[in-house]
Amino acid sequence: MPERKRLTLKDLAAEINVHYSTVSRVMNPATRHLVAEDVAARVLALADERGFRPNRIAAGLRTQRSGLVGVVLPDIANPVFPPILAGIEAVLCQQGYVPIVVNAGTDKARQRYVIDQLLGRQVEGLVLATAERDDPVLEYCVAQRIPVVMVNRGEDTGRASCVVSDSLLAMRLTVDHLVGLGHRQIGHIAGPSTLSTGFLRREGFVRAVRRHRLRAGQWQVIEAASYSREAGREACERLLAEFPGMTAIAAGNDLIAMGCYDCLRARGLRCPDDISVIGHNDMPFVDALSPPLTTVRIAVHQMGEEAAKLLLSKLSQPDAKAVTVELTPELIVRGSTAAPPAA
């Protein structure tokens, strides 16, 4: 059986009696608005009828553009990342870009391998949710002169633009809430200090308790090994052992807070009757926990949108200086915080 001839832009253009460049503009979402609506509708209807799909590989060879963007995540199972991805995709698709999402973990060798694989597939830019404060993988990306933007995390050198939530303000809101309820013995389970979120939330907590004039013996910080439920449980065990008078815990994120729930439950302690707990991120379904989790809401969908906008700006202006977009968090009060138990 003879091989079926692949339908081309020129074939479609000939059937509708328009120039093939018109069809090309219609098939690209970023330029479709340049064509009259009725003409665009005819082109799209015929393309659908004939099963036409643009040959992106051939187009990329002509234009040196792939229309692909790499999005590199440390943990795709973390519920904070899907809404960030949704925000990224919502903006990219308007300009005809398609994200390639990769779960790279936290191992630097694995992340470097993933970056090389994406570059080999001719991605035009990268969105990194994996960056640490002093990150060799980010340094590698910058050296490769690939446009790169960080999301949810920043780094210390200003080599790349980033979109983050205001962690200092978030911890001030957290501590203000607990002190307002009457707590004077407050612990903080911080995320890893190698990450900007762990470092800045710890710094924000320390500034906030000092602002309320809590003495050194009235607060304590323990660093969790990771932003995970199990790491949160282990850190909570250590915090209870080192700070037995504690009446409230400010957790580095919601998964750590869930680990605190596990630890308290195993010890026969009640939340918030014995110890209040506050999370961070307001990830999906924390309102369905028992008790519903008081937490800091970060604008994750907007974070993804802003990251995509920064990357598109970098693609159009490669020499533009790096910028930091800092979004404002919001405290969401639920059932996991209350006044401390009577002495």
Say if residue 282 is in the same domain as residue 180. yes
51 DSSP assignment: T
pTM: 0.79
Structure token digits, residue 165: 């939530």
Say if residue 175 is in the same domain as residue 294. yes
Say if residue 198 is in the same domain as residue 239. yes
Say if residue 86 is in the same domain as residue 130. yes
Say if residue 203 is in the same domain as residue 247. yes
Say if residue 49 is in the same domain as residue 78. no
- CATH number of residue 209's parent domain: 3.40.50.2300
Say if residue 247 is in the same domain as residue 173. yes
Q: Does any domain span residue 339?
A: no
pLDDT of amino acid 339 = 97
Task: Indicate the burial class of 16 (C-beta count within 10 angstroms; 0-12, 13-18, 19 or more).
Answer: middle
Query: From CA 153, how far away is CA 298, in angstroms rounded?
Result: 13
Q: Omega before 284 cis (within 30°)?
A: no
334 DSSP assignment: -
Residue-number span of the structural domain to which 30 is assigned = 9-54
Alpha helix (H) ranges present in 159-299?
167-181, 196-211, 229-242, 254-266
Identify whether the C-beta of residue 43 lies closer than 8 Å to the C-beta of residue 22. Answer: yes
Structure token digits, residue 116: 């090389």
The set of long-range contacts for 118-122, using a CB threshold of 8 Å and a minimum separation of 24, is: 118/70, 118/72, 119/144, 119/146, 121/66, 121/68, 122/60, 122/66, 122/68
Say if residue 37 is in the same domain as residue 152. no
| Spatial CB neighbours of 282, under 8 Å, sequence gap ≥ 6 | 254, 295, 296, 297, 298, 332
Domain boundary pick from 33, 54, 75: 54
Q: Residue 52: which of 63, 65, 61, 43 has the closest Cα?
A: 43
Q: Furthest-apart CA pair in the chain: how many Å? A: 87
Say if residue 149 is in the same domain as residue 171. no
In tens digits, the chain (343 residues) has pLDDT values of 344 456 777 777 888 888 878 877 877 766 787 888 888 888 888 877 777 766 554 444 444 567 899 999 998 888 899 999 999 999 999 888 999 999 998 888 999 999 999 988 889 999 999 888 888 899 899 888 899 999 998 887 788 999 999 999 999 999 999 999 999 999 999 999 999 999 999 999 999 999 999 998 999 999 999 999 999 999 999 999 999 999 999 999 999 999 999 999 999 999 999 999 999 999 999 999 999 999 999 999 999 999 999 999 999 998 888 999 999 999 999 999 999 997 5
Give the H/E segment covering residue 221: strand 219-223
Q: Does any domain span residue 2?
A: no
CA atoms within 13 A on the CB side of 148: 25
In the chain, the number of structural domains is: 3
Q: Does any domain span residue 335?
A: no
Residue type, 257: A
Q: Determine what percent of the chain falls in helix, strand and coil, rounding each to the nearest 5.
A: 45, 15, 40
Q: 10 Å Cβ neighbour count for 334?
A: 17
Residue type, 182: G
Say if residue 207 is in the same domain as residue 311. no
Q: Which residues of 270-289 are buried (b: 16+ CB within 10 A; e: fewer)?
A: ebbeebbbbbbbbbeebeeb
pLDDT of amino acid 34 = 83
Query: From CA 228, how far away is CA 170, in angstroms rounded?
Result: 20
pLDDT of amino acid 6 = 64
pLDDT of amino acid 276 = 98
* DSSP string over 78-133: STTHHHHHHHHHHHHHHTT-EEEEEE--S-HHHHHHHHHHHHHTT-SEEEES---T
Q: Does any domain span residue 272?
A: yes
Structure token digits, residue 294: 């008081």
Say if residue 92 is in the same domain as residue 150. yes
